[in-house]
A and B are shown apart, each in its own frame.
Chain A
Amino acid sequence: MEVKTSSVMGFLGPFLILVLAFYFIPVILTVILSFTSMDYKLSWDFTGFTNFEHFLTQSLTYKVLLTTFVYVALTLIFNVGIAFLLALMTTYFTTHENTAMFFRAIWLLPRLTPVVVYCLLWMWIFEPTQYGLFNTILSLFGKSSSIDWFSSYPMGVIVFANGFIGASFGMVTFSSAIKSISRDYIWSAQVDGAGDWQIIKRIIIPMIKWEIMYIFIWQTLSLLNSYVYILILTDGGPLHETEVWSLYAYHKAFKYMEFGNGAALSLFLVIIGIIFTFISWKIFGFRKMMGQEVSR
């Protein structure tokens, strides 16, 4: 139905103004900013490609790149793996709906918890003295000395903290996908003598492979861009060991007040983001992707 532009603008106006001011303009600004040496004085001094050349020559950049890769890969495996495991257990293996609901609810709780509180919980879990959860568990197994997790295994800390909160998204998506598989397939496979492992491998995984792919792409992208938990938990330390790319850009901009540099660094993430969006566009198609938007 064709409508008047004025009434479209009436409905869409607030949306468009906000998105324009705090989404669209910033996107363009970032690109321009990355060619300047803007600092705390917030003045525009165009310096061409100096920012990019600057961090191509720094060895820290390569360290950060490696850290980012390790962090994203480990967290992705952890979080998609646990998500799949939980989805399978709460839908396929459990016949008691209440048990399934209980576990799903427990795993959703971190997502609703305020960020800082969630980080406080992990500070306690990885507490370096004997009062922390993991050190308590270790001492139950007879290990007397406690481990200083934050300085010995900083990467482990951030992978756990991010993995536990990220798993719920995959879990919810996978659960509803597994639930929507027609029971007839599973029953007829059981009648034919298939075991659980065979059913999972030959029926469930092939039938939810689109969801798995979608979660993989989505999680990779959001892990590349997530740094809040790392900022609170380790702040990139000790000695840049947990400094991922996005946190590095954040530090450049808001710790050292080098906005130009920070923008240039984050431009790399923009390029990766566009590539990933393009890939998922190709894989899922535009219509389907818009549909998936809703379930996000």
Chain B
Amino acid sequence: MKGQTPRGATQVIPKRAIYSLKRKKKKERRAQEVRGEAVTFSRRNEIISTIIMTIISIPIFLSYLWLFLSSFSAKMWHGLIPLKFTLHNWRFLWQPIKFGAVMHTSIWPITLNTLLLALAVTISEVLVSTLSGYALSRFRFKGRVMIQGMTMLLHAFPGVALLIAIYYVLYTMRLLDTLWGVMLVKISLEIPMSTNIIKGFFDNIPWDIEWSSFVDGCNRWQTWRYVILPLLKPGIAAISLFSFLSGWGEFLYIYTFIFTSKKQTLATFLNSLIGEFKFVDYGLLSAVATFYMIPTLLFFIFTQKALLQMSFGGRKA
């Protein structure tokens, strides 16, 4: 390396040149390889790594594909390749599902429940967390750090423990077996996180903008509503997206706190169907699941790029 010209060290060697070099003497080739390593190796490794990524992604890739295909087919070869097209699996859209003598309720009221829950969670989470995120980002008051530290510590508190005590709290508030209760629990357990996310967005908005609006005669509320909020759109979009999807997919709280079948959502509905039709009618199950996945897929397709730019992680379960 040391004897080479500075130009040679950084120059990119064409692919063909590298192949021809391989035929030359061993010693020379070694020297060239050292020089051209960045090019040759990364090209080969790129192919290898793409293959490895494809292999480890197979279960995810194929299972979503299966879900979609199997909902439209009467028969599948080895569960993978559809053989006959049918709409029979989607019959739940126009008639209630029958299992033996048991008649399930129609899917539409259940879908409505799910949608209302998800929307209520989204709206209240956005409202509460933008308010509190603003306060935590801008106000210097006693106990600010304490609140943040407390929410941090609360986050380490396991979901099961909370669930048991929340059962009692809901019981005392007469909110057991109501979707309102589930909604309140859901929001409360998620706002510490969404407040922190939105606080980050507030922190990025410079103080000067607010000062100038104060100087122009706005009070705090007006500043928040007309100056800050419009600047916050990306953050609000992110929180609404996540809270909607998490409300839409919620299973555990409904499974635990709701007993009346009329009040269930698609999550518990599908779960009880799985219990009955597992190994028997995968066509029906996958059709219901595909139906349930529609909002998720829409969000996924339209917000994919934005999603990948921000990181997020585990939620409390």
A binding-site residues for B, Cβ under 8 Å: 1-3, 5, 7-8, 10-12, 14-16, 18-19, 21-27, 29-30, 33, 38, 42, 82, 85-86, 88-90, 93-96, 99, 101, 103-110, 112-117, 119-125, 127-133, 136, 139, 160, 164, 166, 169, 172-173, 176, 187, 190-193, 195-196, 218-219, 221-222, 224-228, 231-232, 246, 249-250, 253-254, 259, 262-263, 266-267, 269-270, 273-274, 276-277, 286, 289-290, 293-296
Contacts and interface: CB of A to CB of B under 8 A. Distances in A.
Contacts of A99: 50
B313 A169 contact: yes
B187 A107 contact: no
Interface in B223-275: 245, 248-252, 256, 266-268, 270-271, 274
Interface in B122-140: 127-129, 131-132, 134-136, 138-140
Given A82-B56, A176-B311, A290 B131 contact: no
- For chain B, which range describes its interface: under 10, 10 to 19, 20 to 34, or 35 or more residues? 35 or more
A131 B76 contact: yes
Contacts of B38: 187, 190
Contact of A8 (B139, B189, B307): B139
A288 B260 CA distance: 46
Contact of A193 (B34, B79, B307): B34
B184 to A, nearest CB: 6
B108 to A, nearest CB: 18
Contacts of A267: 161
Contacts of A124: 63, 66-67, 79, 282
Contact of B304 (A2, A96, A105, A113): A105
Interface secondary structure of B, over-half rule: helix
B140 A1 contact: yes
A94 B50 contact: yes
Given A30-B161, A228-B252, A85 B80 contact: no
Given A29-B165, A116-B270, A125-B59, 15 more contacts: A2-B141, A11-B135, A15-B128, A16-B147, A23-B188, A106-B57, A109-B64, A114-B248, A133-B80, A172-B308, A225-B159, A228-B252, A246-B158, A270-B161, A290-B196
A91 to B, nearest CB: 11
